[in-house]
Amino acid sequence: MSGSSPLNQRVRSVARREFLARVRSRWFLFSTLVVPLLFVGAMILPAVLVDRSTGEPKPLLIVDETDERLSDQLIELLREDDIPARRLEDRTAGRGGVAGTTLDTLRGRILAGEGASGDDAAAWLYLPPDLVQGGEATLVEDRETGPLLRRSVSGALREVVTSRRLERAGLDNPEIEAALRPVSVKVEPLRVEDGPAGLRQALGFLFAMALYVMFIVYGQMIARGVLEEKTSDIVEILVSSLRPWEMMLGKILGIGAVGLTQVAIWVGVIGVASVLGLASAAPALAELGLDISQVAFPWDLILWSMVYFFTGYLLYSGVFAAAGAMVTSEQDIQQVLIPALIPIVLPILVLPAAMQTPDAGWVVIMSLIPFFSPILMPMRIAASHVPVWQSLLAVLLLLVTTYLLARAAGRIYRMGILMKGKRPNLPEFARWIRHG
Amino acid sequence: MTEPVIRLREVRKSFGSTLAVEDLSFELPRGSVCGLLGPNGAGKTTTIRMILDIVGPDAGTVEVFGGPVTHETRSRIGYLPEERGMYQRMHVVEQLAFFGELKGMRRSEAVSEARRWLERLELGDRADDRVEALSKGMQQKVQFIATVLHRPELLILDEPFSGLDPLNVDLLREVVLERQRDGATILFSTHMIEDAEKICERVCMIAGARKVLDGPIREVKRSSGLEHLVIAYQGSPEFLDHPAVASATDHGQWVEIGLAPGADPQAILRRALEMGVTIDRFERTEPSLREIFLERAGRRRADRNGGEA
C-alpha cells in the first residue's frame, strides 16, 4: 500500500526523474563549472588589473598664480600619493608680456587647444594669486577624475596652504611639522573573526545577488517544466496515475535538489579554491588594504544562505508552478512570469541602500517579510550581526506563507494543467482558488 | 454475478456553458471488451476523464472496481490518452520505467518488463534511444506499452489505433485481446465504428453529450427494430426510389438499404426486375452499427430540433 503521505513512491519517482533529467543535461555541467570560474576570475582580476595599470598615468597640470610657488611643494606631496603633476606655467613663465592667467583665460586656452589638451592631462588645477589669503583653488576636469584624485588634491593643498599660513604667523619649520602631523583613525571590527567590514559587506552583496539569480533561474525552470508537460500532453498520463499535488511536489523537490546539488558543488569548489587561493593571494590583497589573515571562512553565512535558499525556493516554486500551469504556450509565459518575478526583484532594488544600513528599522522589517527575506536576510547576516530570533522568525514566516500559498498554487495547478487553448481571465482564477 | 468494473450513474458534466456529458448511466461487466462510440466532440474523452477521476462530475456518481477512484484503484488501470505525450529527451526504457513506477511497480521490475514488451512490439533495438529519435508510429507503440506495462485489470484506450499502419493495428489488437483472455476489462473509444465492430462485444454510443444506445452488440442489433437489405446490382439506381426504402447507403460495391417500417422487401426486388436491373446479390441482414448509430443519432437530432421549433 503506497498511501498518500507527502513523500510516497510516486512523489519520489517524479522528483527523481526531474532531478536526473536536469543533472544529466549539458546546461547543468556548464553552469556548475562556469560559476566557480567566474568567482575565481572575479577574485584574480583586480590583482591582474592593478599590475597592468602601471602604464604612464596622465599628469595633473597646475597653473600656479601664487607669489610663493606653492606648486613645488604640492607636486612633491602629490607624488607621494602616486599622482603625477607638473606645472603648465606660472607667473614667472608668463612674465614675457602675458598678464597673469585667470580661470577664464585658462579655460579659453584649453578649449582652443593651446596648452595640453584633455588627452594629455588628467585635469588642470588653477591656483589663484590670493590662495594663501583664503582664495579658492579650482580643479578643472574634462573627464571625471574620481574621488581618489579629488581627495588627494584637496588634502595636499590643505597641507601646503596651512603650513604657509603657519609660517606667516611666525612658526618655524619643526613647529609647523608638529602641528601638521596627521591624526590617523584606525578602524577595527568589534570581533576579530569578522575581518574587515568591507569584505563582509561585499560577501553579503554577493550572496544576495547569487540567491536572486538562483531563484529566477530555478523558478523559470519549474514554470517551463510544467508548460513542457502541458504542451507535450504528458500531463494527461501523469494525472491518470497520480494526484496533481503529487506532481507539483515531486517536480518542486526534484528541481530543488538540483539547485542544492549545484550550490553544494559551488560551496565545495569555492571553499577549496578560497583556502588554497586566498593563502597565495594574501600578500597582494594586503597591498590593497585587505588583511584576510583574520577572515574565517563564513560558515554561518553559508549555512543560513542554504536554509534561505531552500525555504525561499519552496515559496517561489509554488508561484512559478502555478504560473506555468496558467498558460498554454511559450509566447504567453512571459506575461505571467513578470508578475511572479516582482517580489524577487524588489529586494534587489533596495539592496544597495539596505547594505549601507543593514540594521535600520525598514531593513529589519523588510528582511522579515516572506517574499523579501530569502534575499535580504543573508545580506544582513553577512553585513551585520543579526539576532538569531530574527533569522528564525524569518524562516518560520516563510514556511507558514509557503504552506498557505502552496494550497492556492496547488488548486491553480490542478485546474490549469489540463487547460488548453484560451488563457482564463482573473475572475476564473479566483474561482479556481475558491472551488478548486 | 460479479459487480461491474465501471458503473456510471446519471453522470453530468459541463464546462462553462457547454454541456459535455448529460445524464449518462452505463455499466461495464468484468472481462468484456466495450467500444465507446460517438462522433468527435460527443463527450467520449470527458467520460473517460471522469472514469479516471481526472475531472469530477457535476452530478451523479462514478464507481470503478466497486468504489470511487483511489490511489489503489489507479494502479489497476492502464490509460492510453488520445493525445499521446512523452518526455521527448528521455530514453525509451527509462520513460517506461518511470511510468511503471508511478503505477506502483518496483524500478527493476519495471525495467525488465519494459524491455520484454519492447522486444514483443519489435522495438527491442530502440530501447536505449531517446524518444525524440523514434518515428511517430514507434512512439505510439511505446505509449501503448506504458499503458499495459503494469498488467492493469482495466484498460482504457482512447483512439488506440489512429495513425497506425494495418500491421501495427493487428499487432496491438492481438495484445488487447490477449489481455482480455487474461481477464482484463477493456474500454476503448473510437469514432471509427468499423474498428469497434471487429473486436468489441459491447458498445456504448454517445452523441451530443447523451447516450444513444448501450449493450452487447448482438442485442443492440436485434433490438434496433431496423431491417436492412444488401443489394448488389448492375443498371440504373432509379428502382431505389421506392416507398419501401427508408434509407440507402451506397458502399460502392453494394447498397445498404434501411427498410421502411412494415415494408415488403420483395416489392423492391420486383420493381428492380421490372426496370431491367440485373441483381447479383439480394440479402436481408442485420443493420451495421454504423446504420444503427446514424439512425439513432439522427432521430435524436430531429427530436431536439422539433422541440426547439
Residue A282, pLDDT > 80, answer no
Instruction: Specify whether A136 is located in the same domain as A258.
Output: no
A397 and A422 fall within a common domain: yes
Nearest by CB: A9 against B72, B87, B101:
B101
Q: How many CB pairs under 8 A join A and B?
A: 61
Same domain, B41 and B130: yes
Residue A173 and residue A225 in one domain: no
The CA distance from B150 to B167, in Å, is: 25
Residue of higher predicted confidence among A423 and B113: B113
Q: How far apart are CA A239 and CA A75, in angstroms?
A: 80
Does B263 fall in a domain? yes
B231 and B263 housed in the same domain:
yes
Looking at the structure, do residues B54 and B198 belong to the same domain, yes or no? Answer: yes
Q: Classify each residue of B233-261 as buried b or exposed e, where b means 16 or more C-beta atoms within 10 Å of its C-beta.
A: beeeeebbebebbebeeeeeebbbbbbee
Q: Which residues of A touch B68 (CB under 8 A)?
A: none
Higher pLDDT, A95 or B248: B248
With respect to residue B295, please indicate whether it lies within any of the assigned structural domains: no
> B197 and B71 in one domain?
yes
**What percent of chain A is predicted at pLDDT more than 90?**
6
- What is the total count of domains within chain B? 2
Cell numbers 512490439 correspond to B121
What is the reported pLDDT for B115?
95
In chain A, residues with a C-beta closer than 8 Å to the C-beta of B101 are 9-10, 13
**Residue A229 Cα to chain centre, angstroms:** 36
pLDDT in tens, B201-235: 898 988 888 888 888 888 888 777 777 888 888 88
Mean of per-residue pLDDT scores for chain A:
79
pLDDT at A41 over 80: no
Check whether residue B134 and residue B197 sit in a common domain.
Answer: yes
Asked if the Cβ–Cβ distance from A237 to B99 is below 8 Å, we say yes
Q: Choose the final residue of a domain: A121, A149, A180.
A: A180
More confident residue, A93 or B208: B208
- For residues A94 and A101, the answer to whether their CB atoms sit within 8 Å is yes
Taking chain B, what is the end-to-end CA distance rounded to the nearest angstrom? 46
Residue B300 lies in a domain: no
B166-187 mean pLDDT: 91
Residue A242 to residue B102, Cβ atoms within 8 A: yes
Query: Does B83 touch chain A if contact means CB atoms closer than 8 Å?
Result: yes
Beta carbons within 8 Å of B31's beta carbon, 6+ residues apart? B180, B183, B184, B185
Which domain, by its residues, includes B168? Answer: 6-221
What pLDDT score does A43 carry?
A: 64
Check CB contact of A27 with chain B, cutoff 8 Å. Answer: no
Q: What is the pLDDT of residues A226-277, one digit of tens each?
A: 888 888 788 888 888 888 888 888 999 999 999 888 888 887 877 777 677 6
Give the model's confidence band at A97: pLDDT under 50 very low, under 70 low, under 90 confident, else very high: very low
The pLDDT, as a whole number, for residue A107 is: 83
**Chain B contact for A3 (CB, 8 A cutoff):** yes
**Does residue B307 lie within any of the structural domains?**
no
Running DSSP on this structure, what letter comes out for residue A436?
-
Q: Which of A381, A325, A371 is nearest to A345 (CA)?
A: A371
Question: Nearest CA of chain B to the CA of A210: how many Å?
Answer: 29
Residues A66, A172: one domain? yes
* Chain B nearest C-alpha distance from A253 (Å): 16
Q: What is the mean pLDDT of residues A49-58?
A: 59
Report how far residue B212's alpha carbon sits from residue B292's, in angstroms, rounded to the nearest whole number. Answer: 10
Q: Does any domain span residue A318?
A: yes
Which ipTM value was assigned to this complex?
A: 0.76
pLDDT value, residue A279: 65
Instruction: Assess whether pLDDT exceeds 90 at residue B156.
Output: yes
Average pLDDT over residues A288-306: 68
- Say whether A21 and B87 touch across the interface (CB within 8 A): yes
A379 backbone dihedrals φ, ψ, rounded to 5°: -60, -45
Question: For residue B102, which residues of chain A lie inside 8 Å, CB to CB?
Answer: 10, 13-14, 238, 241-242
- Say how many domains are in chain A: 2
* Domain match, B117 and B263 both: no
Q: Which of the two residues, A1 and B112, has the higher pLDDT score?
A: B112
Share of chain A above pLDDT 70, in %: 78
Domain assignment of residue B296, yes or no = no
Q: Which residue has the higher pLDDT, A106 or A118?
A: A106
Residues of chain A neighbouring B104 (CB-CB closer than 8 A): 2, 9
For A160-186, what is each residue's pLDDT tens digit?
888 888 888 888 878 888 887 777 777
Q: Which of A125, A153, A180 is the last residue of a domain?
A: A180
Report the predicted TM-score, pTM, of the whole model to 2 decimal places: 0.71
- Note whether residue A187 is domain-resident: no
Spatial contact of A418 and A235, defined as CB atoms under 8 Å apart:
yes
Residue with grid cell 606653492, as numbered in its chain? A70
Q: Domain for residue B128, yes or no?
A: yes
Per the structure, the complete domain to which residue A133 belongs is given by: 60-180
Q: Least CB-CB distance to B81: which of A21, A229, A236? A: A236
Per-residue pLDDT band for B303 (boundaries 50, 70, 90) equals: low
CB A398 within 8 A of CB A373: yes
Per the CB < 8 A criterion, the answer to whether A151 and A88 are in contact is: no
pLDDT (0 to 100) of residue A26: 86
- Does residue B1 belong to any structural domain of this protein? no
Please report the pLDDT score of residue A356 as a whole number. Answer: 79
Residues A360 and A389 reside in one and the same domain: yes
- What CATH number is given to the structural domain containing B267? 3.30.70
In a domain? residue A262: yes
Q: Are residues A235 and A86 in the same domain?
A: no
User: Inter-chain contact A240–B79, Cβ cutoff 8 Å?
Assistant: yes
Task: Please check the confidence at residue A293 and state whether its pLDDT lies above 60.
Answer: no
Q: Is residue B302 part of a domain?
A: no
Looking at the structure, do residues B209 and B243 belong to the same domain, yes or no? no
Question: Which CATH number do you get for residue A68?
Answer: 3.40.190
Residues A208 and A147 in one domain: no
Average pLDDT of chain B is 85
**Same domain? A158 vs A101:** yes
**A182-213 confidence digits (pLDDT tens):** 777 776 666 555 555 666 777 788 888 888 88
If one compares A32 and A48, the residue with the highest pLDDT of the two is: A32
Could you tell me the pLDDT band of residue A46, with boundaries at 50, 70 and 90? low
Whether A349 has its CB under 8 Å from any CB of chain B: the answer is no
Q: Is B16 on the interface with A (CB under 8 A)?
A: no
For every residue of A83-149, DSSP letters joined together read --EEEEEETTGGGTTPPPPPHHHHHHHHHHT-S--TTT-SEEEEE-TTTTTT---EEE-SS---HHH
Q: Domain check: are B238 and B189 in the same one?
A: no
Together in a domain, B215 and B233: no
Is residue A289 pLDDT above 70, yes or no?
A: no
Same domain, A337 and A395: yes
Contact A258, A309 (CB under 8 A): no
Query: Is residue B270 located within the same domain as residue B204?
Result: no
One domain for residues B19 and B161: yes
* Cα–Cα distance measured from residue B8 to residue A139, given in angstroms and rounded to the nearest whole number: 91
Sheet harboring B245-250: ordered strands across?
A: B245-250, B255-259, B228-234, B278-285
Amino acid at A371: F
Q: Is A236 on the interface with B (CB under 8 A)?
A: yes
Alpha-helical runs (H) found in A327-425: 330-356, 361-368, 373-383, 388-416
What's B166-183 look like in SS3?
HHHHHHHHHHHHHHHHCC
- Beta bridge partner(s), residue B186: B33, B155
- Shared domain for A142 and A215, answered yes or no, is no
One domain, residues A158 and A34: no
Domain boundary among A146, A180, A214: A180
Contact B90, A21 (CB under 8 A): yes
User: Which of B221, B249, B265 delimits the end of a domain?
Assistant: B221
Any B CB within 8 A of A331 CB: no
**Would you state the pLDDT for residue A65?**
83
Same domain, A20 and A82: no
Same domain, B199 and B256: no
| Tens of pLDDT, residues B125-145 | 999 999 999 998 899 999 999
pLDDT of residue B99: 93
Strands B33-37, B18-28: parallel, antiparallel or unpaired by DSSP?
A: unpaired
